[in-house]
Amino acid sequence: MADLNGNNLTNDLMDAVRKVLLAGIGGAALTAEKAQGILEEMVTKGELTVEQGKALNQELKHTVKENVDSARAAAAETKSSPAEEAKPSVEDFVKGLSEEDLAKLKELLGKTE
């Protein structure tokens, strides 16, 4: 029979959201590394002065840090969200039942009347 509390669905959903946020953090870190490499290459080629490269690198690090902190906070908030928010309504629960489970439920309800 389906989970009455929706806990499995809630946990799966929160895990998926958390994984997406962590993937975003990883992507931001990778982007920062590649951008830093490009800046260093431009300084080496003389397209940027060392000071300009340092300033752009610091700005990039600051922006990435803000984005990572924001994503971490969102992941932590998602992880600690109460499961009650994701509980399905009784109607949604009944709609999600298989024919067999619905028949069992009707039988049980008939016995209680």
Q: What is the pLDDT of residue 88?
A: 63
Would you say the pTM of this structure is higher than 0.75? no
- List all residues 6 or more positions away from 25 whose beta carbon is below 8 Å from its beta carbon: 68, 71, 72, 75
Residue 16: its pLDDT value, please?
80
Neighbours of 79 (CB within 10 A): 12
Domain coordinates of the chain in residue numbers?
7-86
User: Are the C-beta atoms of 48 and 39 separated by less than 8 Å?
Assistant: yes
Nearest one of 27, 28, 21, 26 to 81, comparing CA atoms = 21
Share of the chain above pLDDT 90, in %: 0
